Chain A
């Protein structure tokens, strides 16, 4: 399985801090998003937000980045600390 976690506004929009996606159903970050949308139709709009950022195993990556079983994929809005 691929572990998926959400932060901040996205976490609240999805009503969920995280979930899992089968590694058989997604081999890239973009495919993880599709798999999440299939899990829950209401999530599709929020995940389609182009401003969303993604990190795999704590490294910032783009949508084409490859994912595998055991990875931690995080989706979150642009950061606003400081």
Chain B
């Protein structure tokens, strides 16, 4: 089941969130951020992919589960907070769910702004809070079998550092 939602409620104008099983095209997403957007000189994108290794084990693939009714709302809240904190233009967040193979894309965060500092910071902020707030869970398939990943303290500390 694919869900594509455009959020156009005031502060989140120009923000789009998509939770989907399908892959995405990085170049196409950059084009969407840039298309008819000549106010912004900076475009910062992050994409996360499935590694073939974790904690010393060979990884064969990932399964991603989420809480559908809650995910988009939480991501919208994170984007809204970023928009209040930095002067940014367009935002796109894509997160895939379901079964993913090695090398496949998992997540995309794209942010535009007039100057690079805002887009760099907002992109990192959105990604840091997505990691610790958005209700997604990864199950890893390794040479030893299937395991649900544990949340990392380092991710929590990274998100907390934004409030210092």
Contact residues of A with B, CB < 8 Å?
7-9, 12, 51, 55, 58, 72, 74, 76-82
| Interface size classification for chain B | 20 to 34
Contact residues of B with A, CB < 8 Å?
48, 64-67, 69-70, 73, 95, 106-107, 127, 130-139, 148-151
A82 touching B136 by the CB < 8 A rule? yes
A76 touching B135 by the CB < 8 A rule? yes
Cβ 8 A contact of B133, one of A9, A77, A79? A79
Main secondary structure of the interface of A (DSSP, over half): loop
* CB closest chain-B residue, reference A13: B148
B70 touching A81 by the CB < 8 A rule? no
* CB closest chain-A residue, reference B73: A58
> In the assembly, what is the distance between CA of A72 and CA of B70, in Å?
11
A10 to chain B, nearest CB (A): 9
> In the assembly, what is the distance between CA of A58 and CA of B148, in Å?
22
> In the assembly, what is the distance between CA of A55 and CA of B66, in Å?
13
Known: A55-B70, A58-B73, A82-B48. A77 touches B134 (CB 8 A): no
> In the assembly, what is the distance between CA of A58 and CA of B68, in Å?
10
A74 touching B67 by the CB < 8 A rule? yes
* CB closest chain-A residue, reference B70: A58
* CB closest chain-B residue, reference A53: B135
Q: Choose among A7, A12, A72, A82 the residue with the greatest number of B CB atoms under 10 Å from its CB.
A: A82
Top 6 A-B residue pairs of the complex, sorted by shortest distance between their CB atoms: A81-B136, A78-B151, A8-B137, A9-B148, A82-B131, A58-B70
